Amino acid sequence: MFVTTVTPRFGDIDGLGHVNNTVLPEWFELARNPLFRMFQPDLDLSYEKWNLIMARIDFDFLGEMFFDGDVEIRTYVQRIGNSSFTLLHEAWQKGELKTKGTAVIVHYDFINKKSVQLPDDIREALSEHLVTD
C-alpha cells in the first residue's frame, strides 16, 4: 500500500462546504506517482520514454469530506494482468472511508500504438502492493 496525505485547499471546496467531487481524480492521480516511478524513476514524460496510459477510472462517493482535515489517500494494486494493472484508491478523512475508486493502467508503446507486456521486475514490484479482498 502507498499512502499520500493531501491537505484540502480553499479552492477544492464547493458552495456547500464539501470537497468538490472534481478534485478526487487529481488527488488519486497524485497518489499514483510512486507507482509511475516503478516504470520511470525520474518521471520523464518525454514521448519516447513514457510507457503508461490510463484506460479507465471510476469513483464511489461514500461520504462528505470537508476543508477542516487532511485526507489520506491509500493506493493498492488490485489486479495484475499481462499488459495492465488495476489500482484501488481510497480517500480517508478523520478515520472514515469517504471515497473509493479504481484505475486501470496499461503498459503502452506510444510509438507503435500498442500495449506491451509488463516486465517481470515491475510485475514483482507491483505484486508487493497487491491487496486481496
pLDDT along the chain (133 residues), means of 10: 95 92 94 92 80 95 94 97 97 97 96 95 95 79
pLDDT for the residue numbered 132: 80
pLDDT for the residue numbered 122: 95
CA dist 112 to 47, 51, 75, 101, 106, Å? 12, 11, 30, 30, 14
Tell me the residue type at 104. V
Task: Check the CA dihedral 8-132-38-115 and report its sign.
Answer: negative
> Which residue in 80, 83, 84, 87 sits closest to 124, CA to CA?
80
The C-alpha cell that represents 35 in the structure block: 507507482
CA atoms within 13 A on the CB side of 108: 15
Q: Is 106 inside a domain boundary? A: yes
pLDDT for the residue numbered 133: 65
Q: Residue 110: give its domain's CATH number.
A: 3.10.129.10
pLDDT for the residue numbered 49: 80
Number of domains in the chain: 1
Q: Is 133 inside a domain boundary? A: no
- In which domain, by residue range, is 120 found? 2-127
Please state, in angstroms and rounded to a whole number, the distance separating the CA atoms of residues 82 and 80.
7
